[in-house]
Structures are given as C-alpha cells and as structure tokens.
Amino acid sequence: MGRLRNKKGMSIVELLSAIAVMLLVTVVLVTGVRLGVKAYTKSVSMSEAQILCTTLTIAVSDELRYAGTVHIDESGSVGFFSQNVGGDSQTGSSFTSDKNGYVLLGETPILSKSSYPYGLKAEVTVTMDEADKIFNAKVTVKSKNNTELSANEFQVKPIRRSSLEINHQ
C-alpha cells in the first residue's frame, strides 16, 4: 500500500499549463512564418516588377529606335511603322495593353505571358517631341491590384531621325 501513496506524476493544472505554453509558442511560430512568407513574396514581386520594367524598356526603346513613318493623332497618341510588326499605313502600330495587362505593339505581344509573373500588369505611353524628333516613353509596371511597383521614363532618338516622316491625323 505504500507504493500507491508515493505516486509521482503531473497534476491536471500542470498539464493544462504545459499545453497553454505549447499553444502560445506555436501561435508565435506560425505568425512569424506567415510574416516571413508575406515579406518574401512582396520582395520577389518587387524584384520581378523591376525586371519586367527593365525588359519592357529595352524592347520599347529598340522598337522606337528603328521606327519608320510616325503618325500622331489629335490626342497625341503616337503610332509608327515597326520593322518587326509593320503597321497600318494610316495609323502605324502603337503600344497598348490588353485586358490582362500585357503590352502589345499593334496586335502582337512584345513579351511572352511568362514575363508577367505574380499577376503583374504593364502600360507603355509614348509621345513625341516633334521639333527634336525624339520619342518620350514611360513604362509602368503594376501589381494585380493596380499598385505601381516600378516605372521608367526615357527618351529614344530614332536612328533615321533626319529622314523621319511625321504625319498628323
């Protein structure tokens, strides 16, 4: 009978206290991991936006550098004859974005769909300084909820600037 009285173990209060401490530690760990994943995703998304902006800047500047006849309408929208895409003889090709936020030149995408990770969207606007025959362009990359993540404004001098034909519509 002496053995039963010397039983050692945990009381219910000690057991509940241990479970409460374990739950608290688990909640802190889960919260920390969630914040870490969120920060990582935001960082990668920003990095991808900068890469997309740089890639679009290069593609747009290459197209504008070799532009043929330029067409400018009343609203200031610039269309041009593209060496790669061609263009309508009256309006030329211009940069637009489709419903998914992919940049098009005329009807042709200038980058593949895989270039727009994490739901990124892009816009390109082009104007022209007619006196100096220089294109002014802006590339903007936005998140899927339309927050601007990266932008780049630049100027492009066409190679055949002296013989560049500019038509108004």
User: 125-156 pLDDT, tens per residue?
Assistant: 999 888 888 999 999 999 988 999 999 999 99
Residue 159's φ and ψ, nearest 5 degrees, are -60, -40
Mean pLDDT for the chain overall: 87
The reported pTM is 0.78
DSSP 71-129: EE-TT--EEE-BTTTB-BTTTBB-EEE-TTS-EEETTEESS-GGGSGGG-EEEEEEEEE
